[in-house]
Structure formats: structure tokens, C-alpha cells
Amino acid sequence: MCGIVGFVGERDNMQQILQGMMDAIAHRGPDGQGQFIEGPAALGQRRLSIIDLEGGKQPMFNEDGNLAVIFNGEIYNFQELTAELMRAGHTFATRSDTEVLLHGYEEWGKDLLQRLRGMFTFAIWDRREQTLFCARDHFGIKPLYYYRNEDGELLFGSEIKSFLAHPGFKKELNEEQLPLYLSYQYSPGENTFFKGVKKLMPAHWMEWKNGTLTVQRYWQPRFSPDDSKTLEEWEQEIGDAMKESVQAHKIADVEVGSFLSSGVDSSYMAALAHVDKTFTVGFANKQYDETDYAKEFSEHIGVKNYAYRITPEEYWANLGKIQYHMDEPLADAASVALYFVNREAAKQVKVCLSGEGADEFFGGYNIYKEPFTVSWYDRIPLPIRRVIGAVAEKLPPVHGVNFLVRRSKPLEERYIGNTNLMDERRKKKLLKHYSSRTLPTDLSRPYFAQTKGQDAVTQMEYCDLNLWMVGDILLKADKMSMANSLELRVPFLDRRVFELACRIPTRHKVTAEQTKIAMRGAAEQTIPAKTADKKKLGFPVPVRAWLREEKYAAVVRDAFNTPAAEQFFNVKELNRMLDQHISGKRDNWRQIWCIFMFLVWYDEYFVKR
């Protein structure tokens, strides 16, 4: 696990520029660093040593020295690929999974990507062809950003903040991303909050040659339900697949631990992994505290649990640091708790397993129950539902009204992902420079088109797999673990697990009463039924309550009345929204937090720096 940076474009002081970029992401790899500079190419890497501690240094070269690679991630099938490549005549100098990328690229070219099982971003420089080739893993577990400046230079890296050290980078806010963020609570799609900076999307490669940049998708996840098996058969297959995946994800030359909340995903993971240590965070407020459960469950499976209770003071004190590490604003309050659990785990281990991906693969979100609830309402002709929804939209946004508004539209018009914080009417009131140039549905629509004819739950899963999981779940997992120099591995997000999950029929995933049906059944073979059947809580955080306390409401109000807030928002409307929440008239905490996190992030990148 590492961080990578680089650029293509000859300049004076290339070594100094590259070092500055590497220093900006030193937290991703405190164990070492390496550089390659030749002609127009500059490649840099910061290393967190996990596999082949002595021999895995980067940049790494192939036998004749023509190819140089820098790599962030882990290739879990590197041993079988190594054996296959050795049979084909390749000579390996290390035991590192990094070397598989070099020889695999020599042997198979871009087709190497179809053979990889793991989480990765990497860059290969071909010295003879003067070509840069970069790729990102199938599900987007590891991030990669890129930027082309006016001089035709290409910058790339694991984190946007590394670009700030390059004199050819022009730091400008992309304000067009703000309306999308207010709906999604994260920065969706390939564009970012920095003008010109793009994300290399999951399952994509890019190639720079002779000043031309080509970006292309190399793999597409597909759901293709198979009705031929019973629920019990699916449960058995899930159990077998997860046991194998967890063992593959434990390959390391350092100790591996596991995160543990009160949910089925992390509990199942910890039980399968047979690690020695689990890590949990909670809060003093019992409603938001999972530490007692974690201690009890850890004792049940015979491992030591390390629990930490976050105080409100330290939660709020670290918000600026956390938004800085995110690179882009993220309004998921659980990301802060994730920072602390990673911090505590990093004191004991270098690698931790976590449960991301189970909800998207196996139907875990409560919103997936919606197609099965009040289904009679959907039988009302759509034109009538649209009229009802138009009337309801003018009413205060309470629970029943929200239902009427949502169900007045077909799924592809209303569902943009697991979170839809603000509609266009709300954003028009809040924003000084509202733009409808790109609507949230413009991003989600292609995923509904690609799953046309499939059931509603499958369409929602596919949408979340491509938007929510990448933009929120995996973003915070990568950035919060790397901020603490900890490698986070996600055994659910494995190609072999997906090859199974994509064939499970919806009836074995979700009903009006239950989510993750087949996966819970598989988990029951390993953990107690009361844990396997536990209702999904997410990562509970007491922000709603804190925002009604004078001390913390004052912090937000101060932010809402800064010049930055005045620049982007209708400040009077912000304060009204906060007043409503404090008084208890409305539950506005998510909307308040979303705007507050943007302002905290903006302060980090455009006021302080």
C-alpha cells in the first residue's frame, strides 16, 4: 500500500517538484520513497511496507529496465500470476506483487487488467515508446486523479493535494460541482471541486502518448440473476466465497486486524478472519455507542478488542484535518468516526479488514425495501401520481409528503443513489449561483439505461455501485485509512465474490421486512443469529443532537456568516435552516452538515492555503 504521484512534461527542477508532490502525501507511505526522472517523465512513490518488506521498493523495473512502475494497492492473486508468467519465461527478482504488473504488462499489455484481482492504481512508463499507462481497479477501491494544464503537461496522483506542489497546477474552484454535492453529499462523477482535475473512474485505464490522452473503460459489472438455485444453496456459496476471499485478503508480511461495529458485515468479517485484534469506536451517548457489543462479540470469537470512545470536543476539533485529507468535501458524518477507528488501529497494526461493499453486492440498504412497501400506490396511473406529487412538493418536507413526492416519479427520475439530500427547489433557495447545467439525474440516468428491464432493486444496486460506493463509501475508507498510514482491505469487494453476488436473485436479497437475506443466512453459519439478523445502523453519529447544543450550533453559525458562506449561499436562508433545527421545528441536520462541511473544506483549501 502506497501513494503515487507523477507528471509528464519537462521542466527545470523536476526532482524538487516531484519531491514536493511526494511530501504532500507522505502519510500514505511513511516507510520509504522512490523516484524515477528521465526525459519528460517524473514518477514518485511513498511506501507503506506490507509485502516483501525488503524487496518491494519502487519504482520497480522489468528485466531490461525499459518499463518503470509505481503502484498503490494489493494484487491478491499475484502468486498464481507469478507462476503463470514464470512458465512464460519471465524472470522475477522479488516476492512483491508489484513485479506482477511489470511482467504482466509485458506479456499481455492492457489485457493484464482483466486478470488482476485486487485493489490498485498504478502507472507504467515505457522508456522506449515514451508512453505512460495508468489504471484503476474494477470497483474503484483506490483513487487516482489527473490534470492537464495549459502547457500540455499531465499530472497524476493518489491525492489532489499533491498537485498543489506543481508550478503548472492552477488551483481554481469548480463551483459547478457544488449543486451536485448538495444532493449527493459527496462529489459525484469524474469531475472534482478543482477545475480541470478529474478522477480516473473505476475499471478505467488512461494512456498518454505524444501529448494525446486516451481514457477507456476495460470492465463493466453486470447483474444477471440465476433462478435455478435455492436460498440454502446461495448461502453455502456465499460462505465458501467469503472464506476464500478473506484468506486472500489476509496475505501480508505484517499483522492484520479487523474493524468491528455492531453490524453483520464487520462481525462476519472478523469471525472469518481469525485475526488477533479488532477495533471499534463509539460515543459516550449509549444510543450511538457500539463498544459494549464489540467487546462482547470479540470475547465470543476469542480475540482482543480495542475500543475508543470519541468525545464531542475531539470530533469537532478534527473536522478541518479530516476535510483536508478528503481532498474534496464529504458530508458523511460517519467519516469522522472512521478517522478515529483508523487512528486507533494504526497504533497496533498496519493492515485492517473492513466490510465495505456488502450492501451493494447483497442488497443491504433499507431503501432497497421501498419497491416492496406500499406497492399499491405505484398502481395509481403515473399522471395522477405526478399531480399529487406536484401539490405535495409545495408542502413542508415531512415524512409522508416526501413519500408522495418520491413516488410521483418513475424510479429513474427520483433515485440518484443512497442519499438524495436536496432537490432543485431547495438548492435554488440556498445557492447564490444556482446552475441546472448538470442535474443529479444526468449522472444516474446512464446506469438505469444499462440495467433497463431489470427489477428496481437491481437497478438501485447498480446505481449505488457506480456512484454512492465510489464517491462516498470508498472515498472515506481510502482517505481516512491513509491519513493514518493504515492499509484498509475490503474482502466483500472482490471480483470472485461479485461473480457470485451478481447472480443471486433479488428475492434472496431483499423483501419488505429484511435486507441481505442470503448473506445473513451465510453469516449465521459462523456468527450468532442475533448478530446476523441485526438491523443495519450504518455508523451512528450524534451530530443531530450536537447541533441543538449552543456550543456546537455556534460553531456552525459562525461558519454560516463568513465571507466564504456569503460568496456561495443565501446566508439568511442558512441561518433560518439552523434556527429551525435548534428549535426542533425541523430536522435539518443533514442539510446543515452538508453545507458546513463544504465551508470547512473550502477554508482548508482556498482560505488557509
Can you tell me the distance from the alpha carbon of 83 to that of 334, in angstroms, rounded to the nearest whole number? 42
259 and 210 in a common domain: no
342 and 272 in a common domain: yes
Can you tell me the distance from the alpha carbon of 549 to that of 541, in angstroms, rounded to the nearest whole number? 15
In contact, 5 and 122? CB cutoff 8 Å: no
265 and 213 in a common domain: no
Candidates 424, 481, 470, 480; CA nearest to 447 is 470
Residue 192 grid cell: 472534482
Q: Kindly report the number of other CB atoms within 10 A of residue 390's CB atom.
A: 12
**Domain contains 124:** yes
Q: Kindly report the number of other CB atoms within 10 A of residue 192's CB atom.
A: 18
Candidates 300, 298, 343, 294; CA nearest to 318 is 343
Give the pLDDT confidence score for residue 375 in this predicted structure.
Answer: 77
CB-based contacts of 22: which residues, under 8 Å, 6+ apart? 3, 5, 33, 35, 44, 45, 46, 162
The CATH number that applies at residue 56 is 3.60.20.10
Give the pLDDT confidence score for residue 403 in this predicted structure.
Answer: 80
277 and 142 in a common domain: no
Give the pLDDT confidence score for residue 538 in this predicted structure.
Answer: 56
Kindly report the pTM of this predicted structure: 0.95
278 and 169 in a common domain: no
The SS3 assignment for 53 reads: coil
In contact, 333 and 543? CB cutoff 8 Å: yes
282 and 212 in a common domain: no
287 and 184 in a common domain: no
**Domain contains 443:** no
CB-based contacts of 226: which residues, under 8 Å, 6+ apart? 503, 504, 505
In contact, 159 and 165? CB cutoff 8 Å: no
211 and 90 in a common domain: yes
202 and 263 in a common domain: no
**Domain contains 349:** yes
Q: Any catalytic annotation for residue 2?
A: yes
Can you tell me the distance from the alpha carbon of 183 to that of 422, in angstroms, rounded to the nearest whole number? 5
Sheet holding 60-61, edge to edge: 60-61, 67-75, 118-126, 131-136, 204-209, 212-217
120 and 6 in a common domain: yes
The CATH number that applies at residue 292 is 3.40.50.620
**Domain contains 175:** yes
Give 137-163 pLDDT, tens digit per residue. 999 999 999 999 999 999 999 999 999
Choose the final residue of a domain: 491, 506, 532. 532
Give 463-480 pLDDT, tens digit per residue. 999 999 999 999 999 999
Candidates 271, 273, 270; CA nearest to 244 is 273
DSSP characters for 546-591? HTTSHHHHHHHHHHHTSHHHHHHB-HHHHHHHHHHHHHTS---HHH
Give the pLDDT confidence score for residue 405 in this predicted structure.
Answer: 79
Contacts 24+ apart (CB under 8 A), 505-508: 505/225, 505/226, 505/227, 506/225, 506/363, 506/455, 506/457, 506/458, 508/231, 508/234
**Domain contains 65:** yes
Q: Mark the ranges of the chain whose per-residue pLDDT is less than 50.
A: none
The SS3 assignment for 15 reads: helix
Alpha-helical regions (H) of 74-153: 78-87, 98-108, 112-115
Cα dist from 438 to 194, 426, 591, whole Å: 16, 16, 20
Q: Which range marks the domain in which residue 496 is found?
A: 255-306+333-364+480-532
282 and 210 in a common domain: no
**Domain contains 223:** no
**Domain contains 452:** no
Q: Is the peptide bond before 40 cis (omega within 30 degrees of 0)?
A: no
Can you tell me the distance from the alpha carbon of 595 to that of 345, in angstroms, rounded to the nearest whole number? 30
Structural domains counted in the chain: 2
**Domain contains 282:** yes
144 and 14 in a common domain: yes
CB-based contacts of 499: which residues, under 8 Å, 6+ apart? none
Choose the final residue of a domain: 532, 551, 569. 532
Q: Give the CA angle between residues 170, 171, 175 to the nearest 5°.
A: 125
- The secondary structure of residue 321, as a DSSP letter, is H
Choose the final residue of a domain: 499, 532, 565. 532
In contact, 11 and 17? CB cutoff 8 Å: yes
In contact, 353 and 249? CB cutoff 8 Å: yes
Give the pLDDT confidence score for residue 168 in this predicted structure.
Answer: 97
